[in-house]
Structure 1
Amino acid sequence: MRVKKPTSKRMTTRLREGIKKKAAAQARKDKKSAKKDVTWKSRRSKDPGIPASFPYKDKIIEEIEMRKQEREDQKRRMKEERKAALRMNDNINDEDADMIIDDENADDDGSNDMAALLESAENAARDFNGEVTVDREGDDGMGEYEVIEHQIENDDDDDDDDESENNSEIEKSRKQFDKIFKNVVDTADVVLYVLDARDPENTRSRKIEETILQSQGKRLILLLNKVDLVPDEVVKQWLDFLGSSFPTIPIKGSNGSNGGKSFNKKLTQNATGNQLLLALKAYAQKSNLHRAITVGVIGYPNVGKSSIINSLTLQHSGKGSNNKNSGPCPIGNQAGITKTLREIKIDNKLKIIDSPGIVFPENYDSKSHKKLNKKEYEAKLAILSAIPDKQIEDPINAVKYLLNKLSKDNSMADSFKEFYSLPAIGSKDLNDFTKKVLIFIARKQGRLGKGGIPNLHAAASIVLKDWRDGKFQGWSLPKSSKSEDQNNSKIPNGASGKRAPEKVEQTTIVKEWAKEFDLDSLFTDVFGN
């Protein structure tokens, strides 16, 4: 069979130029028809708006309408004030006053702009003085609160050193320790110390407790938050253990679903928030002070301080948990959301101070009481979700720290394996096991680099995020009082400072403070014991 010679794709110049002329003619025709089109088209891309599938679309639209209505009300109120001033000063009737005001609005459409400018100037002045009024809300008289932000000032002498040497969240938190904590304690009559129910001991600082005890007239209440992430028996053990030192209240600051198994379903946000609010109001009535009781809220980052305050304001206003995403304090499931001291006036008898999360400078293990190195300390804070994801330098080491914790209980280990559908993995040691687990998760989640190599760093970040969100179970159990007393003598001098008060004095304090806050009746109604 004879193979044909391949034909050339070259064309004549006449044909090529003819194609160019036809293409140019078609372009001119399209341009001419586009000019005849009456539809106006902007050069800027159209805003797609809020997608219909966005879960909070209705809320955003409602907020936009509320702002629009507020602007219209403000404009109407300013018009009435201007009209009243014209009638009083110039003896002008209503019709003439309306004409003058309309002419002023036609010449200068900036009445709202001037008001906004004045408001901006006032806010700038408050910023300069270190105090900013944020908002004042009310709901038909059902409840009203005022929010004031206090800016945290930095020392001028340390600014350059901070930027050049210590830019980590841990170092910043240590430098703010004296400023924030002492400010809250000095101002507050009652200090609410928020602990994470998954690991209360590591989110607790004995130095803080001793400082508050040494302050005359201060009251300290421990709040065991996130009780929906640990079993009922674990919560009861921690309540008994912590309740021997200070009055302790279990609380659920947020009703957000974590996508995993939920515990303590009787302890809802409404029940626990109402419990805490009643306790604070009982103390406010018994204190007989001729001013509002100031309540300071402190704790590690991401333990739920702002969520608890929002829960209290919602209980006071009667809105309940249907407004879980609203409130005076911004919230988010990560560290560092609250950046300023925020003062919320609930009513004439109660005022609450929300503070940024503080990583208390105690870098030792709560069980072994051994000082941790920098790598171990960062892993500990990462497991406590006390530092943002971007600040974690070695997430793989943090996951190893987490797996070591989960391996001490079969139910926690099974929860982790079930969530990630882990097969049986053989390993030589913890490092090898951690590496194989992250390889499996990276492949399953599609976190692969060039050549299909698993990205262990990205897989570790996923595990830490799922742990922070409560997707799988994990908790710690309290130590016995006997082992605690033995270990107290082993604590380094720089770790906790002075020794804790005697047990007899501590028991007396707990009983007296529990009576002041009526905690016995509250526990009977809510916790059932």
Structure 2
Amino acid sequence: MRLKKPVSKRGTTRMREGIKKKAAAHRKKQNKLAKKDPTWKSKHKKDPGIPSSFPYKDRIVNEIEETKRQHAEERERLRELKRQERLASGENVGDAMEEDDDENDNGDSNGLAALLESAQQAAKEYEGEDSDEDGEDEEDLEVVDYEISDDSDDDSELDKSRKAYDKIFKTVVEASDVVLYVLDARDPEGTRSRKVEQAVLQSQGKRLILILNKIDLIPPEVLKKWMDFLKSSFPTIPVKASGGATNSTSFNKNMTQAVTTSSLLTALKSYAAKSNFKRSIIVGVIGYPNVGKSSIINALTSRHGGSSKACPVGNQAGVTTSLREVKIDGKLKVLDSPGIVFPSEKKKSKVDQEAQLALLNALPPKQITDPVPAILLLLKRIAKSPEMTESFKKFYELPPIPDSDLNEFCKNFLIHVARKRGRLSKGGIPNLHSAGVSVLNDWRDGKINGWVLPKSSKESAASASEHHAIKGTGSGSAPSVEQTTIVNEWAKEFDLDGLFATLDNQKDEAMVE
């Protein structure tokens, strides 16, 4: 019997390549069908967990929960023990809090380590380009957060701000040597509180500087009027802390972020150099929500060569939720604080207060119950200037609407916005609430031109005189003399005369353009 030779089972190259092509075509077809399938499917396989039929499932689940609880208790015990040791040794409480937070969360520890590493690198580069004026080595950028306990979560934003006024504001003023009071350039008087100025003036050795932020949203002539008006009360520095809003008309283009923040940093360093303190100068930043406090601190750190994201920022109120201390160099620390709605001097109804806060961008959109009163205030403000009116009509492409009745005009305007932007309810009915919130968002982002001129009436002068008379001065002429003396002395301490001359030249160039 003759044995057959073994036959190879290996296929031909043509067959193998044909199988590959068919498989690739099949996968391509399946992927195409999967994209058309509206059902969402995760790419990650779901953990089936412990089967319910497993007889010891309850025991295993209880063991896992008990292990998690023991680990949490052990971490809390070690954290408390380390805090007590630091307090007993007399070290800084803020450093203890920072280290405890690092041990409690590994992710936060990695993020802080990366932040410190980037700050060290930036400090080295800065030292290579320019040496410190005082001959000292610049230290790393340090960020320390101090959480603020909130007892009641059911309170409204206004009630929380009233309670925070006693907690946060007093803490910042007591800890600070210089207080930067940030105002919105579109409505400085609306974001200004006389009680805050009184509290700072009554504190011995404190310095108050008004920061006029968002100057790119007002024309040069309006900025000049406000600077002349505010400089008669306290030293005032105009600042553009962040980039301009999209689709907005930008003013004062010569007064850039670099120029204005450098002027502010130079003034603070000048005061720190002239002071006789043997410690760092602490600068507290206060103001209404969403006026740009954190943006100013980020601009200062970036001007100094540090991180430009030392403080979280956002285009709505409530981003900053804790006191944050940022160390810029060996002689300057900045203390960021959450926005506070300071107590009003005039009694208003709840609807008027909410409308005013919404127009000041002090309320998040989710907390605005009725945007119509705020829209009415905005329309009244815009109607005072033909320039603002024309810009407003051009931005929203308004058709001819009867404007004899303001309420009817506001209603027709919101209907137009709702239809144009697709803010429609069921049945195609315009959603006026959604349209109103959209308009307030445009105002918040600087897409709508609108500003307020300073009051030069006798009522303003009378209120200013009354404000200084409350402080305890004598005759009617004494407060103005005393206030002028304070402004001149503080201007010399911060070397503001030269800064004012530079900024005035920038404003003049902007007005010429």
Instruction: Give the TM bin, normalised by the shorter chain.
Output: 0.7 to 0.9
**Number of the residue aligned with 1:386:** 362
**Number of the residue aligned with 1:345:** 327
Query: CA 1:274 to 1:487, structure 2 compared with 1: closer, same or farther past 3 Å?
Result: closer
2:489 corresponds, among 502, 512, 515, to 512
Tell me how far apart the structure 1 counterparts of residues 77 and 312 of structure 2 sit (CA, whole Å): 21
**Number of the residue aligned with 2:416:** 440
1:45 corresponds, among 42, 45, 59, to 42
- 1:404 is displaced (CA, Å) by 1.3
Amino acid at match of 1:434: C
Q: Decide which moves more: 303-312 or 128-137.
A: 128-137
Contact 2:245 / 2:447 at 8 angstroms: preserved in 1? no
**Number of the residue aligned with 1:358:** 340
Q: Decide which moves more: 355-364 or 237-246.
A: 355-364
**Number of the residue aligned with 1:458:** 434
- 1:310 is displaced (CA, Å) by 0.2
- 1:372 is displaced (CA, Å) by 1.6
Tell me how far apart the structure 2 counterparts of residues 124 and 311 of structure 1 sit (CA, whole Å): 38
- 1:46 is displaced (CA, Å) by 3.6
- 1:343 is displaced (CA, Å) by 0.2
Contact 1:382 / 1:392 at 8 angstroms: preserved in 2? yes
* Structure 1 position 251 matched with structure 2 position 239: yes
TM-score by length of 1: 0.70
1:331 corresponds, among 313, 316, 320, to 313
- 1:377 is displaced (CA, Å) by 0.8
Query: CA 1:503 to 1:256, structure 2 compared with 1: closer, same or farther past 3 Å?
Result: same
- 1:416 is displaced (CA, Å) by 1.1
Contact 1:292 / 1:350 at 8 angstroms: preserved in 2? yes
After TM superposition, the structure 1 = structure 2 runs for residues 150-229 of structure 1, keeping only pairs within 5 Å, are: 150-154=146-150, 159=151, 162-164=152-154, 166=155, 168-229=156-217
Query: CA 1:227 to 1:451, structure 2 compared with 1: closer, same or farther past 3 Å?
Result: same
Amino acid at match of 2:326: I
- 1:121 is displaced (CA, Å) by 6.9
Tell me how far apart the structure 2 counterparts of residues 385 and 189 of structure 1 sit (CA, whole Å): 28
Amino acid at match of 1:148: V
After TM superposition, the structure 1 = structure 2 runs for residues 315-330 of structure 1, keeping only pairs within 5 Å, are: 315-317=303-305, 326-330=308-312
Amino acid at match of 1:198: R
- 1:280 is displaced (CA, Å) by 0.3
Contact 2:244 / 2:250 at 8 angstroms: preserved in 1? no
Unaligned ranges ≥5, structure 1: 1-32, 48-113, 320-325, 365-370
After TM superposition, the structure 1 = structure 2 runs for residues 402-413 of structure 1, keeping only pairs within 5 Å, are: 402-413=378-389
Amino acid at match of 2:493: E
**Number of the residue aligned with 2:288:** 300
* Structure 1 position 474 matched with structure 2 position 441: no
Contact 2:202 / 2:471 at 8 angstroms: preserved in 1? no
Amino acid at match of 2:163: K
- 1:142 is displaced (CA, Å) by 3.5
2:141 corresponds, among 125, 139, 145, to 145
Amino acid at match of 2:501: T
- 1:485 is displaced (CA, Å) by 2.3
Contact 2:465 / 2:480 at 8 angstroms: preserved in 1? no
Contact 2:178 / 2:206 at 8 angstroms: preserved in 1? yes
Tell me how far apart the structure 2 counterparts of residues 372 and 488 of structure 1 sit (CA, whole Å): 21
Tell me how far apart the structure 1 counterparts of residues 191 and 295 of structure 2 sit (CA, whole Å): 17
Unaligned ranges ≥5, structure 2: 1-22, 32-39, 45-70, 88-92, 100-111, 127-139, 474-478, 509-513
- Give the total of aligned pairs: 400
Identity %: 56
CA deviations 1:261-282 (Å, max 9, x no partner) are: 0000111111111100000000
Amino acid at match of 1:415: S
Contact 2:217 / 2:449 at 8 angstroms: preserved in 1? yes
Q: Decide which moves more: 251-260 or 240-249.
A: 251-260
- 1:486 is displaced (CA, Å) by 3.3
Contact 2:141 / 2:306 at 8 angstroms: preserved in 1? no
Query: CA 1:287 to 1:419, structure 2 compared with 1: closer, same or farther past 3 Å?
Result: same
Contact 1:206 / 1:500 at 8 angstroms: preserved in 2? no
Tell me how far apart the structure 2 counterparts of residues 264 and 271 of structure 1 sit (CA, whole Å): 12
Contact 1:336 / 1:356 at 8 angstroms: preserved in 2? yes
- 1:255 is displaced (CA, Å) by 1.6
Query: CA 1:345 to 1:124, structure 2 compared with 1: closer, same or farther past 3 Å?
Result: farther
Instruction: Say which SS state the counterpart of residue 360 (structure 1) adopts.
Output: coil
1:522 corresponds, among 456, 479, 499, to 499
Instruction: Say which SS state the counterpart of residue 470 (structure 2) adopts.
Output: coil
Tell me how far apart the structure 1 counterparts of residues 273 and 76 of structure 2 sit (CA, whole Å): 37
Tell me how far apart the structure 2 counterparts of residues 228 and 124 of structure 1 sit (CA, whole Å): 51
CA deviations 1:280-310 (Å, max 9, x no partner) are: 0000000021100000000000000000000
Tell me how far apart the structure 2 counterparts of residues 124 and 525 of structure 1 sit (CA, whole Å): 54
- 1:259 is displaced (CA, Å) by 1.7
CA deviations 1:388-447 (Å, max 9, x no partner) are: 111111111211121111111111111111100001211442111110100011111111
- 1:500 is displaced (CA, Å) by 8.5
Contact 1:142 / 1:318 at 8 angstroms: preserved in 2? no
Tell me the C-alpha RMSD between the 2 structures. 3.1
**Number of the residue aligned with 1:132:** 98
Tell me how far apart the structure 2 counterparts of residues 438 and 124 of structure 1 sit (CA, whole Å): 59
Contact 1:302 / 1:386 at 8 angstroms: preserved in 2? yes
Tell me how far apart the structure 1 counterparts of residues 409 and 388 of structure 2 sit (CA, whole Å): 16
**Number of the residue aligned with 1:86:** none
Tell me how far apart the structure 2 counterparts of residues 400 and 264 of structure 1 sit (CA, whole Å): 28
- 1:119 is displaced (CA, Å) by 12
Query: CA 1:490 to 1:212, structure 2 compared with 1: closer, same or farther past 3 Å?
Result: closer
Query: CA 1:472 to 1:488, structure 2 compared with 1: closer, same or farther past 3 Å?
Result: same
Query: CA 1:205 to 1:124, structure 2 compared with 1: closer, same or farther past 3 Å?
Result: farther
Contact 1:267 / 1:527 at 8 angstroms: preserved in 2? no
